[in-house]
């Protein structure tokens, strides 16, 4: 277990040696910043605002109804991120911990059993062989006595860029409540409305989602890196869009893990449209991509292989040992 004052990289359970060219003192860890760029986000009830609705007919810059601030709930974002983590393990040939209980009241028949045949194992069954379970269970938590190791905060948003602090996990975004009338298709009704559908949406979301690791295991970092890369690559696939209204282009997220070697000032610079990338940032990008990131991914591969004897260890050894 680490303290927030003196983070330590705990690789004691891994059967490989890791070498990092930079110390933890030079990294943002245990904080992990996910850069978000989403043209349209519709997370259903996952928006909490400081006002009831946006002005429909006034767009003056100083109109307070056009300066609505609020929060994006972490629940929708967490499920989306976890789905990416599950996919990373399944692509590697391992199974992922199911997010739901086996005896839950699901809306479709036999869905749990079908999931177990499609790359999942029963939630918590991974504890039978290892005290901390699989890496997804360990990271996200499970039953009451097994809290997660990943703190997922809400994302605060504001339409006013100067009010946004990306180091606090905030984003620029513009809120509107969109109302649509569903009209009758019957000629006799003359297009009369049948019902009205209201939807809360955010447009032009740009900022960060701040995550914090309660325990700094290198395989956790590796899993987050690979999951975010997967979600970015598959951002326009229905299953990996975030939130609702996916058929209308909502939830297509351009995402990336901001370089943990950046200083806090450099993180802010990423989102400052008036400032370009510095040579120092470019050098850190090169070091991270070639020397740091691969080590975290190796840690993930080592832990996954240690829990599944069919998967190779990253250094060419065989898996199946306890980790």
* Torsion of Cα atoms, 145 then 116 then 243 then 72, to 10°: 10
- CB atoms closer than 10 angstroms to residue 322: 10
First to last CA, the chain: 16
Q: pLDDT band at residue 301, thresholds of 50, 70 and 90?
A: very high
Round to whole Å and give the CA distance between 98 and 125.
10
**Cβ proximity of 258 and 270 under 8 Å:** yes
CA atoms within 13 A on the CB side of 295: 15
Query: Average of pLDDT values for 200-218?
Result: 95
DSSP letters of 157-220? EESSGGG--GGGTEEEEEEEEEEEEEEP--GGGTT-EEEEEEEEEEEEEEEEEEEEESS--HHH
Query: Average of pLDDT values for 71-82?
Result: 94
CA atoms within 13 A on the CB side of 40: 14
Q: CA distances (Å), 163 to each of 68, 72, 200, 216, 217, in order?
A: 12, 16, 21, 31, 34
pTM: 0.86
Given a cut of 80, whether residue 115 has pLDDT beyond it is no
The pLDDT value recorded for residue 323 is 34
Alpha helices in the chain (DSSP H): 74-91, 111-116, 135-140, 218-233, 264-270, 279-287, 293-307
The pLDDT value recorded for residue 322 is 31
């Amino acid at each position: 277990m680490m303290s927030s004052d003196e983070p330590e990289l705990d690789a004691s359970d891994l059967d490989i040696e890791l070498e990092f060219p930079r110390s933890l003192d030079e990294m943002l860890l245990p904080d992990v910043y996910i850069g978000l760029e989403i043209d349209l986000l519709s997370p259903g009830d996952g928006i909490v605002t400081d006002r009831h609705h946006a002005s429909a007919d006034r767009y003056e810059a100083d109109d307070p109804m056009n300066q609505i601030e609020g929060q994006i709930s972490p629940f929708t974002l967490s499920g989306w991120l976890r789905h990416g983590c599950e996919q990373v393990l399944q692509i590697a040939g391992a199974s992922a911990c199911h997010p739901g209980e086996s005896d839950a009241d699901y809306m479709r028949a036999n869905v749990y059993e079908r999931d177990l045949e499609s790359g999942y194992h029963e939630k918590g069954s991974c504890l039978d062989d290892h005290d901390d379970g699989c890496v997804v269970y360990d990271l996200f938590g499970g039953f009451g006595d097994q809290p997660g190791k990943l703190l997922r905060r809400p994302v605060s948003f504001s339409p006013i860029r100067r009010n946004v602090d990306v180091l606090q996990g905030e984003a620029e975004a513009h809120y509107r409540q969109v109302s649509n009338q569903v009209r009758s298709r019957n000629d006799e009704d003359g297009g009369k409305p049948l019902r009205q559908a209201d939807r809360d949406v955010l447009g032009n979301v740009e900022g960060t989602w701040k995550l914090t690791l309660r325990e700094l295991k290198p395989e956790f970092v590796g899993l987050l890196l690979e999951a975010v890369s997967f979600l970015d690559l598959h951002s326009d696939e229905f299953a990996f869009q975030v939130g609702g209204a996916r058929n209308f282009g909502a939830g297509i997220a351009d995402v990336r893990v901001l370089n943990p070697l950046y200083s806090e000032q450099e993180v802010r610079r990423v989102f400052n449209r008036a400032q370009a990338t510095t040579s120092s940032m470019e050098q850190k990008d090169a070091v991270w991509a070639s020397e740091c990131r691969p080590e975290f991914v190796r840690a993930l591969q080592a832990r996954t292989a240690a829990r599944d004897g069919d998967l190779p260890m990253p250094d060419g050894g065989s898996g199946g040992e306890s980790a």
